[in-house]
Amino acid sequence: MRSKSRSLFWQKIALHAALTPLAVIWLFPLWMMFVFSTMPDYGIFSPDIVLVPSTNFIENFQNLQADTDFLRAMFISITVAVIYTVLSVFLTSMAGWALARYRFAGRSVVIAIILGTITLPFAVVVIPQFIMVAREFKLANTWVALIVPPLFNSLGVLFMRQSFSMMPTELFDAARVEGVKEWQIFLRIALPLARPTMAALSIILFLASWNNYLWPLLINSRPGMMTAPVALGTLIGLTKVSWGGIMAGAVLLTAPILVVFVALQRHFIAGISAGAVK
């Protein structure tokens, strides 16, 4: 037993020794982004290698705020991402529940269509979607246009369908025998059991909405409705590029994602692991 414990100890040491350089390589660009956000524009392109933060972050942020009203853009991005994530998780959960637990005509066709939509790049549908939302429904420059069109998520539907398919059928049959209604089974039994999967899906959807650049750029033309990635894009002009402001904005954009992942990482890992086991 002692030799086995010693062997496990050295295996852990070897694993950490191998993973630590990879972690440093992954974290180094993030650290340099933070360092650049604290430097003036001329310092970013200095030939000297600087690894220590400077003192220019407040000035860069003030320039960023003056040029783009970045705090408002951050508020819009956070609001859109949170509402989109909550609605999309709930809608994809309902669709996944129906596809996993109910038998109806055309069910396999629906699943095949959903699988097929995953292969379609967003560039294929962006122009018809823009024409429908902006010209037909006249919803350009509105919160509805930012949140509603991307709500359907094929990956989320299949993700939740897999999660519900793995749950024991006897549990739901017993609830029906007790007289529990279908919507109560879904809300009070199925969703709590799928919490790890929903947490993992929430991180994926929140990240997708947070990083979405093309659709908010197309559907909004008013400065007061810009999301944070679009606001950062406006700093790249024909004659001037505010690199310090861009780096400061990039740091502020990265922070919420790290907070969300750290808060939900246990559920995220559990949800990904559960989705990989049949």
pLDDT tens for 30-46 read 888 899 889 887 777 77
Angstrom distance (rounded) from CA 163 to CA 195: 10
Angstrom distance (rounded) from CA 63 to CA 73: 15
What is the mean pLDDT of the segment spanning 5-14?
79
Q: What is the mean pLDDT of the chain?
A: 85
> Token pair 């379609």 is at which residue?
120
pLDDT score recorded for residue 276: 46
Contacts of 185 (CB under 8 A, 6+ apart): 172, 175, 176
pLDDT score recorded for residue 72: 92
- CB of 63 within 8 A of CB of 39? no
pLDDT score recorded for residue 277: 45
Given a cut of 70, whether residue 162 has pLDDT beyond it is: yes
Given a cut of 80, whether residue 262 has pLDDT beyond it is: no
Indicate the pLDDT class of residue 200, thresholds 50, 70 and 90. Answer: confident
H helix runs in the chain, sequence order: 2-37, 41-44, 57-68, 70-101, 107-118, 122-130, 143-147, 154-165, 169-177, 182-184, 191-193, 195-211, 214-219, 228-233, 243-275
Query: Distance of CA 98 to CAs 130, 158, 186, 198, 278, Å?
Result: 30, 11, 10, 16, 19
The number of beta carbons lying within 10 Å of the beta carbon of residue 238 is 5
pLDDT tens for 222-256 read 888 899 999 988 888 766 778 888 899 999 998 87
Q: Which region holds residue 138: left if phi is over 0, alpha if psi is between -120 and 50, else beta?
A: left
pLDDT tens for 110-130 read 888 888 888 888 888 889 999
Please, what's the largest Cα pairwise distance for the chain? 74
Nearest to 190 by CA among 102, 84, 258, 249: 102
Given a cut of 60, whether residue 132 has pLDDT beyond it is: yes
**85 half-sphere exposure, CB direction, 13 A CA radius:** 22
Angstrom distance (rounded) from CA 136 to CA 51: 52
pLDDT tens for 54-82 read 888 999 899 889 888 899 999 999 999 99
Angstrom distance (rounded) from CA 53 to CA 244: 13
